[in-house]
A and B are shown apart, each in its own frame.
Chain A
Amino acid sequence: MKSLTFPTLVTFFIVVSTLSSCSKFFDGVVQEIEFPEHTPRIVPTLIVNDEAERIIALVSSSASTLDSEGPQVIEDAVLTISNESEILYSMDENNLFDGLYILELDDKLGMLEGPITLRVESPSFDEVSSTSTMPDKPVYTVDFQESADTINNVWGFDILDRYTFNIETTSPSSKHFIIKFYMKYIDLYTEEISDWETMYSYPSFDPRITLNYFINGVMIYEESNSSSATSLNDLAINIQRYSEYFTIVERKVVVEAISDDLFKYYMSLERIASVDFQLFSEPTLSYSNVSGGFGCFGLGSVTETIIE
């Protein structure tokens, strides 16, 4: 009998424990993780280029992940944009429209010289600021080649138009660029000419060219440690030839030189987007050049070219 004691006890223990554990593991929850108190901060986003006819800023407060209300627009913020000697532009609650601070300009913004500082203050928060520099206008040539290539797809194949750029990188302030592609076409039904519509480029294996879905364009940069870095010459970008389906009447490329901070901000957004789609990737933080740690103040300068 003595030798039966152990198996009997073990069997009894297993049965009782199994039954008692079922409910506990049904939900599988161990416990909730306690978060530290979050102190809300001003988060400004203001991105503008020299061709802009309005300045748009979004000023929100940061919120804890556990805050069910989420981030809120700060409605009593005062924004100033200044150079080293004077305030150039300012906005306050009178400029608030649909959650955005908007300042309509009499003319285009034009080139801003020297360091430009954005300051944002609100009675309920600590002031934040950021300083950036507007890069020189981009200088480039573009060569357009219609029906330059084809690529297979599941329905057959696409015909590709090719834009080949040579961008000057001699200016120390112009190292990073965005290129966007637009077209005007004749609507098949109304036979009216459309407004400028975005054209989307095909992915490229050129390490200097990165598609960025946030900005509807491509980012161009020469990464110094890239294995195949050369320069910003012979940048070939392919666009589907939409003229198969309707008549394009005009094409336009917009090349924008962007500040270093703005480049890092856009790249971080692209990384965050990729994290959402790629399993097991490391968490990532959006870039910020604002003293509070969140948000971005970015400047750009634009050169447009109409493709004949």
Chain B
Amino acid sequence: MTLTQKLIKNFTLIFTMLLSLNTSFSQSNFTISGHVQDSSSGEQLLGATVWCENISIGVAANIYGFYSLTLPAGKHIIMARYIGYEPQRFEVDLSSSVKMEINLVAGTTLGEAVVTGDAFNKIEDVVQMSKMEIPIDQVKRLPAIGGEVDLLKVLQLLPGVQSGGEGTSGLYVRGGSPDQNLMLLDGVPLYSVNHLFGFFSVFNADAVKSMSITKGGFPARFGGRLSSILEIHMKDGHMKEYHADATVSIIASKLTVEGPIVKDKASFMISSRRTYLDILIKPIIARANNNNPDVTTDPRYYFYDLNGKLNWKISDKDRIYLSAFTGKDDFGIASSNNIGNSSSNLDFGLDWKNSIQALRWNHEWGPRLFSNLTSTHSKYQFNTGMDVLDISQDQDTIRMAALYTSGIEDIAARIDFDFAPNANHYVRFGANFTNHTFTPGATAIDIDFGSSNLIDTIMGPDDIKSNEAFIYGEDEFEIGDRLKINLGLHASVLSVEDTAYYSLQPRVAMNFRLPKGYALKTSYARMAQYVNLLTNEGTGLPTDLWVPSTARIRPQQSWQIAVGLAKTYGEIEVSLEGYYKGMDGLLSYKEGASFLFSTDSDWQDKVTQGIGNAYGTELLVQKKHGRTTGWIGYTLSWSNRQFDEINSGNWYPFTYDRRHDISFVITHDFTDKWTGSAVWIYGTGRALTLNESTFSAYVPDGESNSGVYSFSLEVPSEKNSFRMSPYHRLDLSLTRTKNYENSSKHLIFSIYNAYNNLNPFFALTDEDDNGNPVIREYGIFPMIPSIAWRYSF
């Protein structure tokens, strides 16, 4: 019997036992279960809390809004809560298990959603640490570059999460690199989340219901990445009425439409966004080209994305979701030059696109057992190329074309179960299988001379296929009144090139209630990662390549321990966390290596593996409710790397090692019409390597080495031993809202970099006024004011 067969057998046995537990339970306890949803739209409220006031126990709804709370027979007072919604209190008299759909009413403003008393799910109540959620409504009210709200840029404002540089959307979480973030859109991994070379992310806020990021203490249900789990859930679609939301900004326009297909049974949501710089400049380009019709230049750039979701409630126990996303960036320039009968045409292009599809089936096996079966497809592809066509006076043609392609495609299936045997235990278990196909860079070359095809070939490494699977089980339970524990195990396997890698990853998280309402939290998590992003640090371009672990490239692994204190003071949550993360199997280009347009057959010869660590302290003071909301975040951190073949084998600071990182985020409702927000951030300058000195050298030249060929060589500094200037910036935003009976209009003014600080983006060798060489930092983004208009009904 193979290992996989054993796993399936054991998994089936456990499931059968749980199913019998689910139906035959002690008659002194009964279960209240169902969904927590928005009363007007039917949207599932994931993470909403259901709390039994008289015996002080409760649960949080899972990511599908399902809850299950087992209580002793008799009368109970139940309180249901969710951020931005009126709390709902009701009484139940349990003499049998009951199914109860809880419908919460949205507050007209955030200020009306008041959480008081011994509210469950306060920061000091939950076991999970290092996880942060920001309500989408709050995200939409924050300042945005060009008026285009970006979810990832908001996440960069949280402690422990850093940006890659001015304007970019890359996330560097607790000293990890961007490929170590598992970015899940409706449970499907996205491999590239950048638009416009990283200045925007692919997540359209209008289509999103919720987002959260977990930086440590990973529950066993997550795996496959070392540094963070980003969960973004699309809206399900309004179950009762049709609604639309349109936004016009200086960069892009968006339209979101949602509504019922069959009222209270099925709904849809579709949201699209497109930039229009290419359309706006077309008349200007056409006018410029008209001056000389024989010489034309036609630059282009646009991006679009399209989110869609169908939600079908088949029965009280079954629900199906179909989610899809596609997005593309297209950059290029075409030029032509005509002289008489001859012409010369050049077309350079660079595009990258993502698409995902997910089909999910929720099923309630009983009041205490819930399952979700998901099948997904995810594809990312990057192309760049050039096509040159020359036609001579004699109509002879010469065509030379090169196209470089890379990408990754996943087909996956996953099953998850939530089992709540009693009020003190919440068990999750499941399994996942993913088939990866990697295209680690192939170059197609086509050269034609008239009728003869001289070269028509594809060079580069072959596609690589791998299979990744994991099973997990976790239980969240209480010991006494003060200790809550989440204990789990995640076991994964990768099969690639006749090699198998196995990984057992224990996960533990504990919450110990201290006197005076403080909670001491600690967690330990081992993680393994079987996909790698080969990137030249700092560029953040889509030329980055996804490559798998192979027989020669061992998987990345990490272990992370975190300790923290948490407490809520009135409406203000405060958490202080310290962490240490060790990493192994990190992948990097060897010094001097690059991948673009490489025709080498084996990319593995160009990379090297090493180790790393990251440690630091994070402070978060957050106010989620009331007229004034926001947070203050501070991170003190270190992140280092060591590769035998880089920097002479010495440890060096990671490019995004940032000693201090501070963010102030505030949003205030001045009146019902006016809302203002401000963001101020400060970060230690980025580490960089510069050529520090120079010397003369030679190589022998000529037959019998009788001469020399001499030259100057530059000596780079110790890797990343220089620092750019600190980064700091203030963004402001002011929104005017006009509410009508069935619609509302919003006019949004925002200013990026309000006090016009020139932040460093890159460094170059230059000359001063006296002609002496100097190294200068250059900034690119001045103050950018913008305006956007939004209409929704």
Seen from chain A, the residues whose Cβ lies within 8 Å of a Cβ on chain B are 3, 6-7, 10, 13-14, 17-18, 20-22, 24-25, 28-33, 35-36, 38, 41, 43, 45, 47-49, 51-54, 56, 58, 60-68, 70-71, 73, 99-100, 152, 154, 182, 195-196, 198, 205, 207, 214-216, 223, 225-228, 266, 268-269, 271-272, 274-275, 278-286, 294-296
Contacts and interface: CB of A to CB of B under 8 A. Distances in A.
Nearest to A296: B697
Contacts of A64: 692-694
**Most chain A CB within a 10 A radius of its CB, from B693, B768, B778:** B693
B708 A58 contact: yes
**Most chain B CB within a 10 A radius of its CB, from A51, A73, A275, A285:** A285
Given A43-B697, A284-B592, A56 B771 contact: no
A272 B594 CA distance: 12
Contact of A49 (B454, B692, B705, B709): B705
Given A58-B697, A280-B539, A272 B772 contact: no
A218 B301 CA distance: 43
A182 B702 CA distance: 10
B778 A29 contact: yes
B117 to A, nearest CB: 37
B716 A285 contact: yes
Given A65-B693, A152-B454, 11 more contacts: A22-B782, A54-B706, A58-B696, A65-B690, A100-B708, A152-B455, A154-B454, A223-B605, A279-B594, A285-B648, A286-B697
Nearest to A65: B691
Interface stretch (B86-94, B309-317, B757-765): B757-765
A274 B695 contact: no
A274 B713 CA distance: 14
A227 B605 CA distance: 8
Given A274-B592, A274-B594, A71 B695 contact: yes
B464 interface: no
Contact of A35 (B539, B670, B676, B775): B775
A280 B541 contact: yes
B776 interface: yes
B135 to A, nearest CB: 24
A259 to B, nearest CB: 14
Q: Interface range on chain B: under 10, 10 to 19, 20 to 34, or 35 or more?
A: 35 or more
A59 B403 CA distance: 46
A92 B785 CA distance: 67
A154 B448 CA distance: 9
Interface stretch (B124-132, B571-579, B596-604, B625-633): B596-604
Nearest to A287: B648
Contacts of B763: 33
Contacts of B785: 14, 17-18
A299 B9 CA distance: 65
A30 B762 CA distance: 10
B775 A278 contact: no
Contacts of B707: 56
20 contacts: A3-B674, A7-B734, A10-B734, A21-B783, A25-B782, A29-B777, A33-B722, A41-B695, A52-B704, A63-B693, A68-B772, A99-B710, A274-B593, A282-B591, A282-B592, A282-B646, A283-B689, A284-B591, A286-B697, A294-B715
Nearest to A60: B696
B591 A32 contact: no
B592 A45 contact: no
Contact of B782 (A21, A36, A225): A21
**Most chain A CB within a 10 A radius of its CB, from B715, B722, B776:** B715
B342 interface: no
Contacts of A71: 694-696, 712
A215 to B, nearest CB: 6
A36 B721 CA distance: 11
A223 B706 CA distance: 30
A154 B447 contact: yes
Contact of A283 (B674, B676, B697, B716): B716
Contacts of A271: 591-593
B700 A47 contact: yes
Contacts of A70: 694, 712
Contacts of B712: 70-71
A207 B704 contact: no
A223 B604 CA distance: 13
B776 A282 contact: no
A28 B776 CA distance: 10
Nearest to A99: B710
Given A30-B725, A284-B716, A24 B756 contact: yes
A179 B515 CA distance: 78
Contacts of A33: 690, 722, 724, 763, 775-777
A295 B695 contact: yes
A216 B541 CA distance: 35
A227 B696 CA distance: 36
B705 A48 contact: yes
A305 B715 CA distance: 38
A281 B692 CA distance: 18
B783 A30 contact: no
Contacts of B699: 47, 214-215, 266, 269
A54 B706 CA distance: 7
B709 A14 contact: no
B562 interface: no
B756 A21 contact: yes
Which 5 residue pairs of A and B lie closest in terms of their CB atoms, listed nearest first? A271-B592, A281-B594, A60-B696, A278-B594, A284-B591
A120 to B, nearest CB: 13
Nearest to B735: A6
Interface in B741-793: 749, 751, 754-756, 758-760, 763, 765, 768, 771-780, 782-783, 785
Contacts of A60: 695-697
Given A68-B771, A266-B699, A269-B699, A30 B760 contact: yes
B605 A207 contact: yes
Interface string B384-419: 000000000000000000000000000000000000
Nearest to A61: B695
Contacts of A215: 699-700
A227 B130 CA distance: 41
B19 to A, nearest CB: 49
A288 B34 CA distance: 70
A60 to B, nearest CB: 4
A223 B716 CA distance: 26
B693 A17 contact: no
Interface in B718-737: 719, 722, 724-725, 732, 734, 736
B702 to A, nearest CB: 9
A7 B736 contact: yes
Nearest to B670: A6
Contacts of A21: 756, 782-783
Nearest to B453: A152
Contacts of A283: 591, 689, 691, 716, 719
Contacts of B708: 56, 58, 100
A272 to B, nearest CB: 7
A196 B703 contact: yes
A283 B536 CA distance: 10
Contact of A282 (B536, B714, B758): B536
A143 B347 CA distance: 46
